[in-house]
Structure 1
Amino acid sequence: MSEINKDVQGSSKDINEVEIFVSKSLRFGVLLSGAVILLGLTLFLSSGEGGYPGSTYPTRLRDIFAGAFEMKPFGVILAGLVLLICTPIMRVGISALVFLKERDWLYVGISAVVFFILVSGFFFGK
């Protein structure tokens, strides 16, 4: 077998390993967020209230996670939704790192810009 074929097979193996890692990460993120949402739903159904006065609920990340740590049903459900939203954002960040490792500068730049837009929209969007 020639050296070129060995390099192609080695590169293909690395790409497959990265794809499997990304797939497992996405699956873990979805399962974790689903479990957190299910916990919040169980708390809500067992207590009959959301843990906040009237029809209010937390809207800032700090308040959402504070409510989740206090085991307030709406806080736990919203924390699960935040985890679900963060899962594909994590995927874009991992892609940027993979492209960086492969020294594919065009896709590093594109992925980094997309990641920056997603993260800034997550934190500063209304």
Structure 2
Amino acid sequence: MSDNSSIQKDNSQIQDVELAVSRWLRVGVLISAAVIILGLILFFIQGSSGYPGDYYPHSLPEIFTGTIHMKPYAVITTGLILLILTPVLRVAISIWVFVREGDKLYVIITSIVLIILIVSFALGKA
């Protein structure tokens, strides 16, 4: 009987973690959508990207500085960056969950996936 209650407790904990992860994903998508919509509203109000001619920021510091100054293109780009980072956050949370569960194999596999994601971002910038 105690084995059955232990299994139910484990299943309950797994469901709680899955719900928490899904909430984080929803929050990330909603925040990024709100930032993108704000950028679009700014674009329609200002009538331009906020940058002269064909210039657009390409580095993170330029994008975040533009966002602070409410330049529409930078705000939209920040929203897209947040959208891209949302599933990366899910992978990082998964590592934490697997560490708590003591599942070493999945910690290793998920850590490799996270490293691949980070390396792809770094190489994509180059």
Class of the TM-score when normalised by the shorter of the 2 chains:
over 0.9
Please, what TM-score do these two structures have when normalized by structure 2?
0.96
Q: Distance in 1 between matches of 2:55 and 2:48?
A: 11
Match of 2:54, as an amino acid? S
Number of residues of Structure 1 aligned to a counterpart in Structure 2: 125
Q: Distance in 2 between matches of 1:40 and 1:114?
A: 31
The RMSD of aligned alpha carbons is 0.9
1:31 paired residue number: 30
The runs of 5 or more residues in structure 1 that have no matched partner are none
% identical equivalent positions:
50
Q: Distance in 2 between matches of 1:119 and 1:69?
A: 25
1:40 paired residue number: 39
2:107 paired residue number: 108
Superposed CA deviations along residues 64-93 of structure 1, whole A, max 9, x for unmatched, are 111111100000000000000000000001
2:17 paired residue number: 18
1:93 is aligned to 2:96: no
Q: Give 1:22 deviation, angstroms.
A: 0.4
Please, what TM-score do these two structures have when normalized by structure 1?
0.96
Which one scores higher on RCO, CA 8 angstroms, separation ≥ 6? 2
Deviates more, 1:90-99 or 1:112-121: 112-121
Q: Give 1:124 deviation, angstroms.
A: 3.7
Q: Give 1:47 deviation, angstroms.
A: 0.6
The runs of 5 or more residues in structure 2 that have no matched partner are none
